[in-house]
Amino acid sequence: MGKQRPDQPEPAAPAAPNPFAALASLRGTLPEGTGDEPAAASAGDNPFAAKLVIARERKGRGGKTATLVRGVALTGVALETFAREMRQSLGTGGGVEGDAIVLAGDQSARAAQWLRERGATRIVIGN
């Protein structure tokens, strides 16, 4: 057993100043709005507006084949959610790397069919 240390009360941290406190007085000068309106709905309406490229890749993956889907007009959490739905539907592993959806294995034909069923029309299947 190690040496027991006597109980010492932790020093109370000094209260940090709130950097947003000064903004509260400006709240009355803001224009009225609901705040529920989406900022930009152009990419969210149709994630397949651009050409989708499906490519197989082995380089840098320990010899394992991976399928990459590029050109989906989604970013951030929306892209992660779309990739999760795609992986679950195809029954494969994968993730998101940058702006590309990565699927484990050679899933190019199945991924193209899945995307066509969801409204994608411009699909290019590469190597």
In a domain, 18, yes or no: no
CATH number of 109's domain:
3.30.780.10
Q: Could you give the CA distance from residue 22 to residue 126 in angstroms, rounded to a whole number? A: 55
Q: Other CB atoms closer than 10 Å to residue 101's CB: what's the count?
A: 26
- Bridge-based pairing of strands 123-125 and 52-57 is parallel
Q: What is the pLDDT along the chain (127 residues), one digit of tens a residue?
A: 677 777 777 766 666 777 787 787 887 787 777 666 555 444 446 666 778 899 998 888 888 899 999 888 888 888 899 899 999 999 999 989 888 899 999 988 999 999 888 888 888 888 7
Q: What angle do CA 82, 89, 60 make, to 5 degrees?
A: 70
Q: Residue 96's domain spans which residues?
A: 54-125
Say how many domains are in the chain: 1
